[in-house]
Amino acid sequence: METRKAQLHPDKYYHIYNRGINGQNIFLEEKNYAYFLQKYAQYIFPFFDTYAYCLLKNHFHLLVQAKPENDIRLFLNGKHKEKSISWILSNSFSSLFKSYAQAINKQYGRTGGLFEEPFHRIEVNSDSYFLRLIYYIHTNPQKHGFVLDFRDYKHSSYHSHLLTKTTKLKKENVLEWFGGKEGFIEFHSQNQDMGHILNLIVEF
- Confidence (pTM): 0.92
Instruction: Catalogue all structural domains in the chain, each as residue range(s) with its CATH number.
Output: 13-198 (3.30.70.1290)
Q: How many residues does the chain have?
A: 204
Q: How do the pLDDT tens digits run along the chain, 204 residues long?
A: 567 778 999 999 999 999 999 999 999 999 999 999 999 999 999 999 999 999 999 999 999 999 999 999 999 998 998 999 999 999 999 999 999 999 999 999 999 999 998 999 999 999 989 999 999 999 999 988 999 999 999 999 999 999 888 889 999 999 999 999 999 999 999 887 666 665 656 565
